[in-house]
Amino acid sequence: MNDVITPPRRTSELVVDRMRDLIRSGEWAVGERIPPEPALVALFGVGRNTIREAVRALEHAGMLVPRRGDGTYVRSRNLLAAAIESCVPGSAHHDLLGARRAIEVEAAAAAAQSASAEEVAGLRVRLRAAERAFATGDVAGYTQEDIAFHAMLVEISGNRLLLELYDGIVEVMQRLHESVVEATVATGDHPSGHVGVVDAIEAGDAAAARAAVHSYLDAALRGLA
């Protein structure tokens, strides 16, 4: 029998968890200022020192960033995004796309083996929304819908770790993603493979799903050339 007693968690750790949930849910959105210290004290029912400790922890983790004289802002919604930014140079676009390929290829294959009819229908809804934005030249709208489509694809795989990794990579890549979309919208060259990967998932064809992911990510690499 294990007689080791696990000590109770510190109050500041519980506050960190609550703050992280608010950031991950989007209630505290990236780029927005979090409530001031007195409001946080009232919100969580703890002392100022506890709030300061929790905020410092999230600053060190890269999720929050202080701005002198202007409060504290949300920098990232994903703990991994800050780590990725710190170890991958801003110019290493191909490295980021390579990591995205590794995750999305396996996620698509897994989705082909387990996706329900409702999940496939959800992918098609996202894809149609992206196509409408693309057709009108709405770069911001297309970027948003395209990212949502790919995130849904990874989520359908059922692998929560893949989704967490993917979320961090996509957050770092978002500005790059917009530049790729701008190039494809301007040329009218829609990245191929998006319809193909949904068809493959619906057919339960893991090999075809992998091939479709390679196809549209090859198109993204051409957009960076």
All structural domains of the chain:
11-77 (1.10.10.10), 81-224 (1.20.120.530)
Q: State how far the Cα of 225 lies from the Cα of 41, in Å rounded to an integer.
A: 50
Distance, in Å, from the CA atom of 107 to the CA atom of 94, rounded to the nearest integer, reads: 20
pLDDT for 222: 72
Taking alpha carbons only, the member of 79, 93, 80, 82 closest to residue 176 is 93
Tokens matching residue 55: 């905020």
The residue type at 55: V
pLDDT at 116: 95
What pLDDT score does 65 carry? Answer: 92
pLDDT at 225: 61
> Tell me, what's the pLDDT at 178?
60
Residue 110 has a pLDDT of: 95
Tokens of 7: 């000590």
CA 179/CA 79 separation, integer angstroms: 24
Residue 79: what residue type?
L
How many CB atoms neighbour CB 3 within 10 A?
A: 4
Tell me what pLDDT residue 202 has.
96
Ranges of the chain with pLDDT below 70:
1-9, 86-93, 175-193, 223-225
Q: What is the pTM of this model?
A: 0.70
Q: H helices of the chain, where?
A: 11-25, 37-44, 48-60, 79-87, 93-114, 117-135, 139-156, 160-187, 194-203, 206-224
